[in-house]
Amino acid sequence: MNSHWIGGVAVAGSGETIDVVNPATEEVVARVPAGTAADVDQAVAAATAAFPRWAATGVAERAAIVRRVSEGLRDRSEEIAATITAEMGAPISLSRFAQAAFPVRVAASVAAIAEDFPWTEEIGHSLVVREPVGVVGAITPWNFPLQQVVSKLAPALVAGNTMVLKPSEIAPLTAGILAEIAADAGLPAGVFNVVHGTGPVVGEAISAHPGIDMVSFTGSTRAGRRISAVAAETVKRVALELGGKSANVILDDADLARAVPHGVAIAFANGGQVCGGWPRMLVPAARHDEIVEMVVAAAAEYTVGDPADEATRVGPLASEAHRRRVDGYIERGVADGATLAFGGPGRPAGFDSGAYARPTVFADVDPASVIAQEEIFGPVLTIIPYADDDQAVEIANSTVYGLTGAVFGSEERALGVARRMRTGQVDINGAEWNPLAPFGGYKQSGNGREFGRQGIDEFLETKSIQR
């Protein structure tokens, strides 16, 4: 379904359309309507009308519907994986493992949490009640196009909210699949609405709309600033999950055979198009050259290829415009004197078309340089030497971002470094992702949290009733 989804039915829109382009082949694979402010008005009206009944629906029933959504996503996982590979270029193996599978886990975990969530609490002679915010406007990115939607929709639904979603115009197609799955799961008409379109039109309309009580946004810090400014006119709540420039701190007692390949894998995952990736590898200065050799050997395993091929580890970037942007950063790193250890600017050999970039490694990088400070959002890893643990922490905290991070080393020492990092999430020695743990940023990586109990809290108001 490539139409808007408003009030439980497909809506064609005004007639203007947006091409969805396969970044590997440069072919148009679909078209979606270019939404307008009037389309947003219609969706908000539907969400507003559906809100009272949905908010009054019991938590157990809301959670059961979210659980059925999880099951529906699982049942259509192969279709979802193929769709995401076609629209934004994620290798099919990654699309199956993460793009299609993670939303299944998130929705199921939220449904489970809802059953034991403290919806009410007695504090002295007061009854504290947690109630839905109202109509939520969600604006989501292209890098994990379904995961980012489900991470907002599942907790918003169990909390009793209704939603108007603007998916990325670059990768919008799984939003339609999700709308169908939600309807099949028994979600009432108007509770979940999808309006396709661009940020300057549909995103602005959602952010400014007086009928929307909250905006939840994932995307760039620049766009997050704009949404905050527009939303401030109606004093609505804004939750932001923004950019990152996370540091992977490898201590001098780390198991390098484990730490280095894992760090490269996270840096190059999804073509480096992961806000919570680790694009900065901080290494002991005395072991810099040794680690660079290991990184280059690991990077050589990340072959670029057709994302539909099971063997491909790095597909194209999501669009040609983004490829040019990433290439510009690689050229800037070279111009600024960083040591190019692997890769470099331009498309890989054998690729004359498509949004393909070369996985690239810079060594001996100045922590104050552009490539070490700004979010590149591509397969570019910067290796930065440090003298001791204190300097490693200082460098890790030296950007405007604070989304994720990592530490490899002996457990107690790594935990000590992790506690000092000004970032919302830190993995020690390659710990597995936990969908029950909160995720979100410090500083200009945003505010608010997703996943776990804190993720449900984001979509609730708190009322005190004195008796």
Residue 24 has pLDDT above 80, yes or no: yes
Burial 132-159 (b: 16+ CB within 10 A, else e): bbbbbbbbbbbbbbbbbbbbbbbbbbbb
Sheet holding 192-194, edge to edge: 9-11, 4-6, 192-194, 162-166, 135-139, 214-218, 237-241, 446-447
Annotated active-site residue 374? The verdict is no
Q: What is the pLDDT of residue 15?
A: 83
The model's confidence at residue 288, banded by pLDDT at 50, 70 and 90, is very high
pLDDT tens-digit readout, 356-400: 999 999 999 999 999 999 999 999 999 999 999 999 999 999 999
Residue 102 has pLDDT above 80, yes or no: yes
pLDDT tens-digit readout, 232-262: 999 999 999 999 999 999 999 999 999 999 9
**How many residues are recorded in the chain?**
467
Q: What is the pLDDT of residue 25?
A: 97
pLDDT tens-digit readout, 112-169: 999 899 999 999 999 999 999 999 999 999 999 999 999 999 999 999 999 999 999 9
What angle in degrees, to the nearest 10, is found between the helix axes of 101-116 and 147-158?
20
Domain regions of the chain by residue span? 4-242+443-466, 247-428
Q: What is the mean pLDDT of residues 402-418?
A: 98
Q: What is the pLDDT of residue 13?
A: 85
Which residue is catalytic, options 87, 169, 204, 241? 241
CA distances for 426 relative to 292, 376, 421, 423, 447, angstroms: 23, 20, 8, 7, 16
Radius of gyration (Cα) for the chain, nearest Å?
Answer: 22
Residue 1 has pLDDT above 90, yes or no: no
pLDDT tens-digit readout, 257-281: 999 999 999 999 999 999 999 999 9
Domain 4-242+443-466: which CATH number of 2.120.10.30, 3.40.605.10, 3.20.20.70, 3.10.105.10: 3.40.605.10
Q: What is the pLDDT of residue 106?
A: 97
List 132's β-bridge partners, or say none. Answer: 460
Round to whole Å and give the CA distance between 306 and 291: 30
Q: What is the pLDDT of residue 2?
A: 87
Closest CA to 155 of 214, 81, 77: 214
N-to-C CA span, the chain: 51
Q: Does 3.40.109.10 match the CATH number of domain 247-428?
A: no
The mean pLDDT of the chain is: 97
Residue 14 has pLDDT above 90, yes or no: no
